[in-house]
Structure 1
Amino acid sequence: MRILMLVLCLAAMATKCFSQCRKKPVILFWCSTPEKLANATFITPQVWTPQDEYSADVLKRRPEYEQSSWLRKGITPLRWMGYPHEKSEQELIDYWASAVRQGYVGIAIDEIGHVSPEVDAKAARALIALKKACPNLFVAVWHAGGLTDELLKGYRDGADLVLLETYGVPFEMQRYMRWIEERISTVRKAGIIHKTVIALGINDAASKEEWQKVGQWVNSSLVLRQLMTFIRQKAPDMPGIAFFAPKASQKMLMAADKLAGEIFGKPAPLHDIIADYDAELRRPDGRVDVDLMVARLKELGVNTYFWLIWHAPTDWDDLHLFLPKAAEAGIQVWVYLVPPSESPPYTKLYSEPFRLDYIRWAEEIAKLSLKHPNLTAWVIDDFYANRQFFTPEYVRKMQGRAKSINPRLAFLPLMYFPEINRKFVDEYGQVIDGVVVAYPKDADEIEEAWAILNDVAFPGELSYPWGTPSSPGDFVAVSQRAKVLPQEKHIIRFRQRDDFIGPTSGYHFKQLLIDGNVVWEEDVAGGARQWQEVVVDVSEFVRGKEVVTIAFRLFDKKGVSNFGVRWRLKDLQVDGLEIEADLTEPQKWKVEKRGAFEAGFGENIVQGQGRFHIPFIVMTAAQPYEFRLRHGDPATPERIAQWLEMCLKMWKGGRCDGVVTYCLDKSLNSQTFHLARKLFMEFCSVRGGAGK
């Protein structure tokens, strides 16, 4: 019974600790005196448990290193474990899993990634199997060397934290910066940046002999500050920093600890945003009920509220009253304005008092943000539909006015998912701080937006942008040669879907061609968003030929003025034909086009290098009318909650930087509010987005 109680107690403490530490940044130290650190959230290797008979006696003489002692301090201790290359895959799994039997809540596996591709692949498979066998064991990996595709998959599916060893060679600032940038780019493209940190080395107390072997690392507080600031700026989507410092002096250790708390101690701007928008509660006199709003938002569990200035001429005045009370509740505020298209003469109301003078709005919001630091950003609705007004140059002037007053104030346009394309990024990426993107149809749409906003190739797509005119005969086609095999039947199978379900027909057509002949065709009009399998018998088109050209084409039979579409392709299979590459190798397909069409094939996909990160917040409809308009019936609280859960899962997986509910009913009897609150609490306890 005493053993059972001990296990239950440890499990409870571990759960609490993981909840807390995931709300904090990752600040991990491997050093000689971790008990003296003030800002660490993870430490290794100084930890032991009563069940671990193999723990060194020197550790067991230190009660402050006992696992429960660390957990009580809110620090997650990770038991060191090696990677013995000679072990089989199953032996590795059993070895790492032994930590669970010994009562450890987490492990740090040392030295993966610098031996051979075969050894790396074995480690990757073992990590994935370990996570399946021990899902509650926190697994961190010290990675050295290159990042292979096999290891990236192993880390994606089998690790909770990846520590990229960025030391081991003599320090030189430009070399280290290039090294860090390359690694950031690689893990961003792989989709694991949200659980990866750069591990810097400090060895100022090492011997001269050791310096001769490995060089001196980051051994001054000035250089440490420069590198850590560089990492934060280049990768705000990274969760923190790590240090390998067993040979660090106490002075440098304390400097690293202090700087880590200063630079990584607070969430990065525009990251881990859990928010609600609009649907403000008002008093009988029409003014916003500030106290009730703060109480309901606090109960909801959000860390940010988007304050719409539109419904009443007093909204700007009420914002001044709301800000200090929101700050007391730990709630950030983003000011939300309407564009010209939602102002007179198109509607009855302006955003008051500065109306369409967005340069003045920028100035006044920035001034207010200095008085109330929890005012951190502002948003303009329906931005892209008003881009003739909000040109890149105009936005640059807005930003210049605001940032001359408060450089930390962020501006984000409200966009819709079909509007997120590389043209938008090219034109506006340098003049915005992030973007709010509304109403995802599904997780794939969030994934596609994430890829574009993180400079990551999203293969297998043909598309045409919204708001761009075309001419009849404009097209984009991707093709490759195929050898015709000597058999009776020749079949092509593939799966496809497009994102347009409206009735407008006769414009964009999806086609499959053999040697220029259309063998399958479908209008993008109507249909469903789900993947559909297409099977085409092409026997008559290849008969008597040795080689043919297979092409997928998006073709305009009539010109469009404002009609965007995305066509996705995958799972190409052929029978009776031999192709050089399927759809999993889009870079091997030839691209031809006329007009403004885009292709995620050929040389186009090489452009994705993970060079930048534009934070984006997903807005999901929480109001029945808007939900029905975007997703159809039923617009029940349960179905609205399902969409919110999908968005939160994508946030948890690092595919967006936050989630905001559109017009969530905050009245006391709202069932949707209850379901949203439950989801926010569940996901924030796992990933810690609420920042409280």
Structure 2
Amino acid sequence: MTTPLPSRQAARRSVVALLLAFAGSLLAGPAQSAEAAPAPGIRASYANPVREADGHVDAQATVDRLRAMNADTYAFLVNKSTDWGDLEQEFLPAAQASGLAVWVYLVPPTECPGGTSCAEYLPYKKDYVAWGQAIARLSVRYPVLKAWAMDDFNANTSTFTKDYTARMRTAARAIQPGLDFYPVVYANAVTQSFVDTYATSIDSLILPFRDDPYRDTLWTGSLRPQLDQIVARLATKSRKAILMVYASTLSRTTITPDVEYVRTATAVGLEYTKAGKLDGVIQYALPLTAGRAQSGDERVGHTGNSALVFTVHPDNATTVGDYAAASTTIRLDAGSTSCRMVVWHTDDRPATSPLGYHAKQAIVGGAQVWERDVASEGSDWYTSSPIDLTPRLSGGSATLTLRLYEKKAVTNYSVTARMDDISLTGCHVTNPGFEADGGWTYSRKGGDVLAGRHTYDPVYSTSVHAAVGALYGG
């Protein structure tokens, strides 16, 4: 059973499918193999395809963009009512012709169209055994279809019990023995108990990174420790993870991922893949249509497109003394005997907000030299008064730290604060306008206060495509 396409398009799509399937049969042999050995591991992207004006997936344009990004795998999300037909009639023939590996990516009951009954999730609704069997039959027809994945698996274990998951995988493999099954499981749910329970019913595990338990796409410092822990747990059952990097806006986060965030997390994932610790990397919803800004993003800098940003997310609890900070070295100019600094700063708290909780601060040589409460002004950009740093640079240099500091604990008092254009007289720092990467290091005490450099990119989809392509091609 398949969902029929609109009649005005059925003939055109049928012809295209036949032509692409024929092309795939010509290209499926040795002519596909490259002279150079391929880079190890999966290099994938998920969802966010190029779409036609009528909402259908533009199969060839999507495949072309994936290939230009050096991706070898695409996870095709089946969610819209037209997706299954687009997958079967256009995308798989196009992928087969190009040699692009495909996974079918399904949604669980908590995300189904039509609610948890999955009444509108067509064609197989809540019967995930039937979904697996249908995917397996497609895999027989199109051998580039290698796997199927289930989103938010760990939030749906009441449906996907150990026994039911085994039934799903077994039923699919009875039709296509090599078809893999990949659950999507967040880091805090990949316990040893989970691994012990499900290892025999899965092949690899898709691991989204979002700085659990804090849920953000700004901080990457916890990625390696999380990978090390999860890699070790999976290794006890001879299983591996595929790292999912958020290349598109993650719900209920304060700051959207920018190009540098995606580049940093992807590079770590590829490093672990090369070392044999991961099975590969997949981008979460990297936008494949060129020339678009990041969804939900906005220009953040006082000047330019970049700024230092600090956040406390709604409903996140902090404790007194928590902070997030950015640090660099401040040095006297040659021949200078004095140093003055002005900081441009802003935040999103109105002046009617409670005082005494979140403070923007500057620390030089271990001493606080400036502070401003987030509720002391409006939401425009302001400058500090000139700050004389000369006494703190007696040796010609000192550490400059800009931070957001918790003076009182909060449970639901969010803020987004920014600093930019550090103006210095008689002294200097690297990257005072935050327009380039580097020059600053980031730290935090208490993970609910975050800091990082963020860049707004009006053509984010083009830039992130190029950045990932360079890494995937390396």
TM-score w.r.t. the length of structure 1 is: 0.36
Q: Which residue in the other structure is 1:437 paired with? A: 207
User: Which consecutive unaligned segments of at least 5 residues does structure 1 have?
Assistant: 1-18, 25-270, 456-611, 687-692
Would the alpha carbon gap of residues 350 and 647 (structure 1) be closer, same or farther in structure 2, given more than 3 Å must change? Answer: farther
Which of 270, 281, 284 matches 1:662?
Answer: 284
Q: Which residue in the other structure is 2:52 paired with? A: 283
For the Cα contact (< 8 Å) 1:274–1:658, is it kept in 2?
A: yes
2:73 is the counterpart of 1:304: yes
For the Cα contact (< 8 Å) 1:366–1:409, is it kept in 2?
A: yes
Answer with 1 or 2: which has the greater Rg.
Answer: 1
For the Cα contact (< 8 Å) 1:308–1:336, is it kept in 2?
A: yes
Q: Which residue in the other structure is 1:616 paired with? A: 241
Alpha-carbon separation, structure 2, partners of 1:314 and 1:634: 29
1:23 partner letter: P
For the Cα contact (< 8 Å) 1:622–1:672, is it kept in 2?
A: no
Structure 2 counterparts to residues 147-226 of structure 1, below 5 A: none
Cα-to-partner distance string for 1:83-109 (whole Å, 9 max, x where unaligned): xxxxxxxxxxxxxxxxxxxxxxxxxxx
Structure 2 counterparts to residues 464-479 of structure 1, below 5 A: none
- Secondary structure of the corresponding residue to residue 291 of structure 1: helix
Cα shift at 1:397: 1.1
Q: Which residue in the other structure is 1:315 paired with? A: 83
For the Cα contact (< 8 Å) 1:369–1:375, is it kept in 2?
A: yes
Alpha-carbon separation, structure 1, partners of 2:52 and 2:260: 29
Which of 91, 94, 104 matches 1:325?
Answer: 94
- Secondary structure of the corresponding residue to residue 184 of structure 2: strand
- Secondary structure of the corresponding residue to residue 243 of structure 2: strand
2:171 is the counterpart of 1:390: no
Would the alpha carbon gap of residues 405 and 346 (structure 1) be closer, same or farther in structure 2, given more than 3 Å must change? Answer: closer
2:86 partner letter: D
Q: Which residue in the other structure is 1:641 paired with? A: 263
CA RMSD of aligned residues (A): 2.3
Cα-to-partner distance string for 1:151-189 (whole Å, 9 max, x where unaligned): xxxxxxxxxxxxxxxxxxxxxxxxxxxxxxxxxxxxxxx
- Secondary structure of the corresponding residue to residue 301 of structure 1: coil
2:238 partner letter: H
- Secondary structure of the corresponding residue to residue 185 of structure 2: strand
Cα shift at 1:637: 2.7
- Secondary structure of the corresponding residue to residue 23 of structure 1: coil
1:431 partner letter: S
Cα-to-partner distance string for 1:262-298 (whole Å, 9 max, x where unaligned): xxxxxxxxx7111111112221222111121111111
Would the alpha carbon gap of residues 674 and 634 (structure 1) be closer, same or farther in structure 2, given more than 3 Å must change? Answer: same
1:454 partner letter: A
User: Which consecutive unaligned segments of at least 5 residues does structure 2 have?
Assistant: 1-33, 212-222, 293-458
Cα-to-partner distance string for 1:609-668 (whole Å, 9 max, x where unaligned): xxx421311111101x31x845x5363333333332332333233331111111111122
Cα shift at 1:425: 1.1
Aligned residue pairs total 262
Q: Which residue in the other structure is 2:231 paired with? A: 450
Would the alpha carbon gap of residues 635 and 342 (structure 1) be closer, same or farther in structure 2, given more than 3 Å must change? Answer: same
1:452 partner letter: R
For the Cα contact (< 8 Å) 1:454–1:613, is it kept in 2?
A: yes
Alpha-carbon separation, structure 2, partners of 1:348 and 1:360: 13
Alpha-carbon separation, structure 1, partners of 2:61 and 2:247: 19
Alpha-carbon separation, structure 1, partners of 2:172 and 2:66: 28
- Secondary structure of the corresponding residue to residue 202 of structure 2: coil
Structure 2 counterparts to residues 668-687 of structure 1, below 5 A: 668-670=290-292, 671-686=459-474
TM-score w.r.t. the length of structure 2 is: 0.52
Cα shift at 1:357: 0.5
2:293 is the counterpart of 1:651: no
2:38 partner letter: K
Cα shift at 1:684: 4.0
For the Cα contact (< 8 Å) 2:119–2:126, is it kept in 1?
A: no
For the Cα contact (< 8 Å) 2:243–2:280, is it kept in 1?
A: yes
Would the alpha carbon gap of residues 348 and 392 (structure 1) be closer, same or farther in structure 2, given more than 3 Å must change? Answer: closer
Would the alpha carbon gap of residues 683 and 280 (structure 1) be closer, same or farther in structure 2, given more than 3 Å must change? Answer: closer
Q: Which residue in the other structure is 2:131 paired with? A: 361
Cα shift at 1:424: 0.7
- Secondary structure of the corresponding residue to residue 152 of structure 2: coil
Cα shift at 1:336: 0.6
Which of 127, 131, 142 matches 1:372?
Answer: 142
Question: Which fold has the larger relative contact order, with Cα–Cα distance below 8 Å and residues 6 or more apart in sequence?
Answer: 2
Q: Which residue in the other structure is 2:64 paired with? A: 295
Structure with more helix by fraction: 1
Structure 2 counterparts to residues 233-632 of structure 1, below 5 A: 272-310=41-79, 312-320=80-88, 321-343=90-112, 344-345=114-115, 350-441=120-211, 442-455=223-236, 612-623=237-248, 625-626=249-250, 629=252, 632=254
Would the alpha carbon gap of residues 350 and 642 (structure 1) be closer, same or farther in structure 2, given more than 3 Å must change? Answer: farther
